[in-house]
């Protein structure tokens, strides 16, 4: 028989040790998160600046090479920067460097946002390992080389600027400047980002002059960019000005430079036949539901039934969110749109809402991690693979680790 004194003493010891155990678990998880950041940067480096070959998608490469030949056209900002920094006429090495540097900035501002808005180590881990997270972006060679990654990086910077009340002209000009750069990089993704930035701006300041100036200047720039969309002749001019070494890497029946010459009718037709009649249009509902489920789990949001009236009232007050709809009509890259919206939405919620902390992994979080691990977010269109996408990439990582260790 154990004496009451010893029993109470044992309980007291356990009570004293428990905070230390909790602290140790948090410290371990922080270390795991750091390793995920580091691992992801190394993976992207291996596919870009440390690569001996060409490993990124040809469409991404051609899209990044669009520049201003002898006039202003849409989506030429990054290509013009690459042209400026290159010194040998072969743009691949400069392009891969730009991709890698942007990914590093993305990881840095991703981390700074999670720290500024005080998400727990558990929530950071869930976000890192989600279908849309840093780990999947790097391991499956997707998205980090796409233009939307540049806009997500800029949005993360804006989200930090708008963390507190917006009172200074300098901060407003910074937000406006970063939005302008976003529109010049890719007007389609920028149109998805614009409502979220404008909504945050309205939440952070009551200065109607800021509201009007931001809205009118951005809309004016969108119109200018659309009116200077390009033509087949300009697309040929851009392509022919590139080196043979660069052109051979992306020459296909269609590439992103060719898309500069497409009209709205062309893109709408492609969306209709590529997506609507593909037989898989409604399968995208799974990824849209996954966005909602992911945000609900990561941010520990209470499940609340939103009535149709509440949604209508929100859109009446914030009708500019309807600008998102046309992108899904004229562009068939629904994977890119949904991926971008996930980041714009979750970090907007983090900014404006008090988030309940997640400090343990329960059944819901474990289910989420399992679903995330076995779900790859497509960049563009739904397609069937040979069934080895996950195992092939995991084996490549394992092989790389073994090679460097032994």
- pLDDT > 70 fraction of the chain, expressed in percent and rounded: 82
Give CA 339 to chain center in angstroms: 6
pLDDT (mean) for 216-242: 92
Q: How confident is the model at residue 99 (pLDDT cuts 50, 70, 90)?
A: very high
Q: How confident is the model at residue 385 (pLDDT cuts 50, 70, 90)?
A: very low
pLDDT per residue over 213-223, tens digit each?
A: 999 999 999 99
- pLDDT > 90 fraction of the chain, expressed in percent and rounded: 57
> Would you report the helix, strand and coil content of the chain in percent, each value rounded to 5?
70, 0, 30
What phi and psi, each to the nearest 5 degrees, are found at residue 361? Answer: -105, 105
Contact yes or no for 65/79 (Cβ under 8 A): yes
Contact yes or no for 74/23 (Cβ under 8 A): no
The angle formed by the CA atoms of residues 186, 188 and 192, to the nearest 5 degrees, is 115
Contact yes or no for 320/202 (Cβ under 8 A): no
Q: How confident is the model at residue 400 (pLDDT cuts 50, 70, 90)?
A: low
Which has more pLDDT, 49 or 301? 49
Domain that residue 287 falls in: 30-405
Is 21 part of a structural domain of the chain? no
Is 168 part of a structural domain of the chain? yes
d(CA 370, CA 383): 22
d(CA 131, CA 387): 17
Is 85 part of a structural domain of the chain? yes
Q: How many domains does the chain have?
A: 1
Is 15 part of a structural domain of the chain? no
Mapped onto helix, strand or coil, the DSSP state of residue 305 is coil
Q: What is the mean pLDDT of the chain?
A: 86
pLDDT (0 to 100) of residue 186: 94
pLDDT per residue over 187-209, tens digit each?
A: 999 999 999 999 999 999 999 99
Q: Which two tokens stand for residue 19?
A: 């905070």
pLDDT (0 to 100) of residue 52: 86
d(CA 321, CA 199): 9
d(CA 307, CA 101): 44
pLDDT per residue over 113-128, tens digit each?
A: 999 999 999 999 999 9
pLDDT (0 to 100) of residue 326: 87
Assess whether pLDDT exceeds 60 at residue 13. Answer: no
Is 124 part of a structural domain of the chain? yes
Is 193 part of a structural domain of the chain? yes
Assess whether pLDDT exceeds 50 at residue 17. Answer: no
CA quadruple 392, 396, 401, 406: dihedral positive or negative? Answer: positive
Is 16 part of a structural domain of the chain? no
What phi and psi, each to the nearest 5 degrees, are found at residue 356? Answer: -70, 140
Is 165 part of a structural domain of the chain? yes
pLDDT (0 to 100) of residue 72: 93
The angle formed by the CA atoms of residues 75, 209 and 216, to the nearest 5 degrees, is 30
| Cβ-based burial of 86 (10 A; exposed 0-12, middle 13-18, buried ≥19) | middle
CA quadruple 102, 105, 111, 112: dihedral positive or negative? Answer: negative
Q: How confident is the model at residue 394 (pLDDT cuts 50, 70, 90)?
A: low
């Amino acid at each position: 028989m154990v004496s009451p004194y010893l029993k109470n003493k044992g309980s007291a010891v356990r009570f004293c040790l428990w905070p230390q155990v909790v602290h140790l678990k948090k410290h371990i998880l922080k270390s795991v998160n750091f390793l995920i950041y580091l691992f992801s940067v190394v993976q992207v480096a291996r596919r870009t600046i440390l690569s001996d070959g060409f490993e990124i998608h040809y469409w991404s490469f051609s899209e990044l090479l669009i520049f201003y030949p002898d006039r202003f056209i849409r989506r030429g900002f990054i290509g013009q920067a690459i042209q400026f920094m290159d010194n040998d006429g072969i743009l691949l090495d400069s392009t891969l460097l730009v991709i890698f540097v942007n990914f590093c900035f993305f990881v840095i501002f991703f981390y700074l946002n999670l720290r500024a808005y005080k998400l727990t180590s558990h929530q950071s881990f869930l976000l890192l390992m989600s279908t849309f997270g840093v780990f999947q972006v790097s391991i499956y060679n997707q998205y980090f080389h796409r233009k939307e990654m540049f806009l997500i990086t800029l949005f993360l910077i804006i989200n930090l600027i708008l963390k507190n009340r917006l009172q200074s002209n300098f901060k407003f000009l910074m937000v406006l400047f970063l939005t302008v750069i976003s529109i010049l990089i890719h007007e389609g993704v920028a149109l998805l980002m614009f409502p979220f930035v404008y909504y945050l701006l309205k939440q952070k300041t009551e200065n109607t002059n800021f509201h009007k100036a931001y809205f009118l200047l951005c809309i004016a720039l969108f119109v200018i960019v659309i009116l200077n969309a390009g033509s087949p002749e300009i697309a040929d001019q851009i392509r022919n000005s590139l080196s043979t070494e660069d052109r051979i890497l992306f020459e296909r029946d269609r590439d992103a430079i060719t898309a500069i010459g497409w009209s709205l009718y062309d893109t709408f037709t492609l969306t209709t036949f590529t997506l609507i009649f593909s037989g898989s249009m409604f399968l995208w509902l799974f990824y849209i539901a996954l966005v909602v489920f992911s945000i609900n789990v990561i941010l520990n949001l209470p499940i609340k039934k939103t009535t149709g009236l509440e949604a209508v009232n929100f859109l009446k007050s914030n009708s500019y969110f309807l600008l998102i709809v046309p992108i899904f009509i004229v562009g068939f890259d629904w994977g890119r749109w949904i991926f971008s919206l996930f980041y714009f939405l979750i970090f907007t919620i983090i900014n404006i809402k008090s988030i309940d902390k997640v400090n343990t992994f329960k059944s819901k979080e474990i289910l989420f991690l399992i679903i995330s691990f076995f779900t790859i977010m497509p960049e563009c269109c739904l397609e069937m693979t040979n069934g080895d996408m996950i195992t092939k990439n995991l084996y490549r990582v394992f092989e790389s680790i073994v090679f460097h260790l032994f």
